[in-house]
Structure 1
Amino acid sequence: MRPADLACEHGISTQAVRNYERDGFIPPAGRTDSGYRIYTEAHAAALRAFLALVPAYGHSAAGEIMNAVHRGALDDALTVVDRGHHQLLRDRATLDAVRRAVDHLTAEPGAAPAPSADGTRTIGELAHRLGVTPATLRNWEAAGILTPARDPATGHRLYHPADIRDAELAHLLRRGGYPLDHIATVVRRIRTAGGTGPLAEALDEWQRRLTSRGLAMLTAATHLSACVNGGPPDPTPNALHNMDT
């Protein structure tokens, strides 16, 4: 096969194929007497595996997996795969925790008492409640996530119940991997709508992303198995038994 043959299957450029070879994502190509690259079905299988791994585990992890496969370090490759599955499981647990928190906040919007009689908290009190630093809250304010009032006498930040709700949601979404600019958008929509409906939409989108990643892992496993074993995975019921023995 020529570089163009591999590229055509995936709608990528021939330069991308050469770059993937350079980076170790596919094995080194053979050469003709005149120096042209020659690829085989093994190269095609490696390219399919790498491109399937990217949406499942990310570009960096996909490259790490393929480099390990090509140097014969299969256990190293599988360790990266295992880390990806572990992270997906943690993300699912985090999403469940966020949903429970949103349900709680929706059911009892002012349930958490604050030290002040009017329900406000200082930056130190709110940071302690969330287990973050005051600097983190100031960063969230700079990103537009929090808009605390100021004590007219001292100039110190005062966080009212709505601010505390926004901070709690921001904390949960940060744990879920959301960037600050996305959290700011969600929080602004909550303020405008006057409720947590927009957050529910964000969580539904998060759920769809996790499902998509899980399905991508299934597809990637098929292609990686074909690359490692030199052919399609064995579909027979005794395949796993034969591997063990």
Structure 2
Amino acid sequence: MRPIDLAREHGLSAQAIRNYDDAGLLPPAERSATGYRRYTPLHAQALRAFLALRAGHGYRQAVEIMHATNRGDLECAYRLVDAAHVALLAERGTRAEVATALGTLAGTAPPVVDGPPLTVGELARRLGMHAATLRAWETQGILHPGRDRATGYREYGPDCIRDAEIARQLRQGGYQLSQVAQFLDSLRTAGGADALAIFLASWQERLTTRSRNLLAGAAQLDTYLTMLDRVR
């Protein structure tokens, strides 16, 4: 087969195939008497494996997997594949924690109330806790108070007051500081509880898509490995 023969299946150019070959993503190809590359079904499957792996692992990781496979270092290739699944599992756990926290706060999350900023002492009295706890929450990335330009003292505006009240509710529910920080970071990124619910649904879709892509990549890689076993 010629480069264009491999390219047509994926809507690529012949030059892209040559680039992938030069990058070591395909097994070594024989050359004709005139110097043209000659590919086999093994090369076609290597290309399928790389493109499928790229969809789930990303370009750089897919390149590393193919390099390890083509040099016969299957232990390295398996570790790279396993690491992606471990990372995906951890991300699923993070999303589940955020979703659970959102459910805990449903109907109880305090709204943002306009008003002058509070000092650390005033906010501590409002929440019924020590000022040192609020400072510790700041260190953990839970709160992000501003500073008075003249005095340098902390100022807790409406958004920060809301975050502190949410954090108190979550802590009372047994959530760890890291979980509280994760939830509030997601809440700020999404733009509020309603937006966060949409964000979580989209996040779940992305996780599902990546899971399917990882499975598809593994299937194509397995077929490639089977073909390599036959020729080695």
Q: Common fold, TM-score beyond 0.5? A: yes
Given candidates 119, 122, 125, the residue that maps to 1:117 is 125
Change (3 A) 1:127 1:220: farther
CA contact (8 A) 1:130 1:171 kept: no
Change (3 A) 1:209 1:215: same
- How many residue pairs match? The answer is 204
CA contact (8 A) 1:150 1:156 kept: yes
CA contact (8 A) 2:124 2:134 kept: no
Change (3 A) 1:102 1:69: same
Q: Which runs of 5+ in 2 are unaligned?
A: 111-121, 168-177
Q: Distance in 2 between matches of 1:33 and 1:154?
A: 81
Q: Which runs of 5+ in 1 are unaligned?
A: 138-145, 191-195, 232-245
What does the per-residue CA deviation read over 1:83-116, in whole Å, with 9 as the maximum and x for residues that have no partner?
A: 1111111111111001112222334325xxx952
In the TM superposition, what is the alpha-carbon distance from 1:174 to its structure 2 partner?
A: 9.3
AA matched with 1:103: G
AA matched with 1:89: L
Change (3 A) 1:60 1:162: same
CA contact (8 A) 2:26 2:43 kept: yes
What is aligned with 2:196?
199
What does the per-residue CA deviation read over 1:166-197, in whole Å, with 9 as the maximum and x for residues that have no partner?
A: 9x99942698xx8xxxx76522xx2xxxxx01
Report 1:1-245 matches (<5 A).
1-110=1-110, 116-119=124-127, 126=134, 128-129=136-137, 132=140, 148=145, 150-151=147-148, 154-159=151-156, 160-164=160-164, 171-172=181-182, 186-187=190-191, 190=192, 196-230=193-227
Q: Distance in 2 between matches of 1:169 and 1:228?
A: 41
In the TM superposition, what is the alpha-carbon distance from 1:128 to its structure 2 partner?
A: 2.3
**Superposition RMSD in Å:** 3.4
TM, length-normalised to structure 1: 0.70
CA contact (8 A) 1:29 1:37 kept: yes
CA contact (8 A) 2:97 2:179 kept: no
Percent identity for Structure 1 against Structure 2:
39
CA contact (8 A) 2:95 2:200 kept: yes
TM, length-normalised to structure 2: 0.74
In the TM superposition, what is the alpha-carbon distance from 1:228 to its structure 2 partner?
A: 0.4
Q: Distance in 2 between matches of 1:152 and 1:64?
A: 50
CA contact (8 A) 1:120 1:161 kept: no
